[in-house]
Structure 1
């Protein structure tokens, strides 16, 4: 058995009552520590050996200790612990066998999963946590709205925390998983940069809504004198050139996003209108893109649902 002082250090000062009992501290002694204001009861099942506001690390330990020995941090909480940036959430997500087997805790959401915990759990020491890939895939499949569900898959790849191939492998292991078909398509876009698949998606959109097919990879000199190649161009009846630039994935990287905005500014010119969309929009929301293109003067049929 791990010595109590070592356990306190490893768990950021948090202890479950079951751990205290195993070390010979009955509830009466625990109550005395709490009454003396040396310890704090943070949930009916967990005490903190420090006073003051809990740190983010302490909140995560509180959540898993409250939920029981088989529980683990999951969802975006697990992704944050393993390095994901700019997707932080105040709520701590914990994977459990049965979310109704214990008292609720403010700021903690218990997510029930019947999948093998031995498969999901990270082998790394420290805070019990789900491995990165199943953590984000389960969150994307069952917790997230459709856009962030696909966006987080792009984010973990763009931040070099995993690869499309690893996520696809986990998709197979998590079968059945809600939205898996769409996730495979998005991961395919990410794996190949999205460019060739985005071209096919533009063609499908044009045929579906009666839009003329665009010119591809037209060479343009931007305002700084640099040669650029545009993704799609159409000559409008009034002589204006309409340019559609397609982002192959979710541009969550700030530097890449700024570069894209700068590029758009510099290839915009009198008589040339530049608009952007993502490969995700072409795949899942093509009617919205078509409506916007028709509104800018491109001949075609306005989708009924979006009209």
Structure 2
């Protein structure tokens, strides 16, 4: 049933989740006639125009990624969210398999969409961005920055960047280096701002931004880094309006991690037990929804009796 070249193709397919390219098949000595015969006999099936699955079962997403790369040509690589998913990113997914090819590569408009492939030229393509092992894909730091640039919204862009660091697919410094490569893009400012937050040293910067915004919006300035002592030890509260017992805690990326969630909750509970109102302001919230968060600060101060806020709104 299977010639020696076909058996070699089956062994290769085991390394590629059951998918081989026509280029690989012909290179192993499998003829076009043999490919047609196996497809006709329903032992194999076509996937796109450039790939063959050596089985008739369900095609997992890993196999679709291989087929997408083969469909796009020899210089193609997974990119953006698809490259991150292949590297192990969880909880953020893309409906299409995104593949990048260099400018000048032949790509027909819409080609591959019927199979769930999104094949596009990009001026950002570079052979140096290729991950050294596994399916051809961009390195996680490169993929994260590009995924942020290509995201459907600013919120999704920030989520991709923070999740990449949180799940330890790339370190913030590497994202910073990749972000600096951006020369022109409508989302360049947001990406640089979020990456700056991720790199570190953002607590004081975030607090300064809040104080500056309070002044601009006519909100009384808070005290910073106010000490509170409880049974569990000494806490430093980021921003406090002591007269009205309103506290704002500015959360950076590290506050999303499991080790900090418990400590943050205990600290907030301890402060709340003193009859203070505690609001949390994630730095991403300051980047993406500042009006909503400052409206909540105004509401808390107004409810506590702070004068002069009657006409203030988000």
TM over 0.5: yes
Query: Which structure has the higher relative contact order (CA within 8 Å, separation 6+)?
Result: 1
1:119 paired to 2:128: yes
**SS at the partner of 1:173?**
coil
Unpaired segments ≥5 residues, structure 1: none
Is 1:277 equivalent to 2:286 in the alignment?
no
The residue aligned with 1:37 is: 42
Q: 2:278 & 2:63 partners in 1: Cα distance?
A: 49
Question: Higher mean Cα deviation, 243-252 or 3-12?
Answer: 3-12
Query: What is the aligned length?
Result: 299
Describe the SS at the equivalent of 1:105: helix
CA separation of 1:252/1:26 partners in 2, compared to 1, >3 Å: closer, same or farther?
farther
CA deviation map 1:155-188 (0-9, x unaligned): 2223333233222221233423442222222222
What residue is the counterpart of 1:16 in the other structure? 21
In structure 2, the residue matched to 1:55 is 60
Q: Conserved in 2, the CA contact under 8 Å of 1:13 and 1:58?
A: yes
SS in structure 2 at match of 1:147: helix
**2:5 paired residue number:** none
Alignment of 1:246-261 (within 5 A): 246-249=250-253, 251-261=255-265
Residues in 1 aligned to 2:275 and 2:66: alpha-carbon distance in whole angstroms: 59
Further displaced range: 212-221 or 97-106: 97-106
Kept after mapping to 2: 8 A contact 1:246/1:277:
yes
Contact conserved, 1:193 with 1:249, CA < 8 A, in 2?
A: no
- The change in CA–CA distance for 1:256 and 1:59 in structure 2 (over 3 A counts) is farther
Contact 2:112 2:119 in 1 (8 A): no
Match of 1:136 in 2: 144
- Structure-1 residue corresponding to 2:194: 186
Pick from 232, 238, 251 the counterpart of residue 231 of structure 1.
238
Distance (whole Å) between structure 1 residues aligned to residue 71 and residue 298 of structure 2: 55
1:225 offset after TM fit, Å? 4.3
Structure 2 CA distance for partners of 1:303 and 1:288, relative to 1, 3 Å = farther
**Distance in 1 between the 2:170 and 2:85 partners?**
13
> Displacement of 1:5 after TM fit?
4.6
CA drift at 1:215: 1.4
> 1:56-75 alignment to 2 at 5 Å?
56-75=61-80
RMSD across aligned positions (CA):
2.7
Residue pair 1:243, 1:274 contacting (<8 A) in 2 also = yes
Change (3 A) 1:208 1:283: farther
CA contact (8 A) 1:235 1:242 kept: yes
Contact 1:241/1:272 (8 A) holds in 2:
yes
Deviates more, 1:34-43 or 1:240-249: 34-43
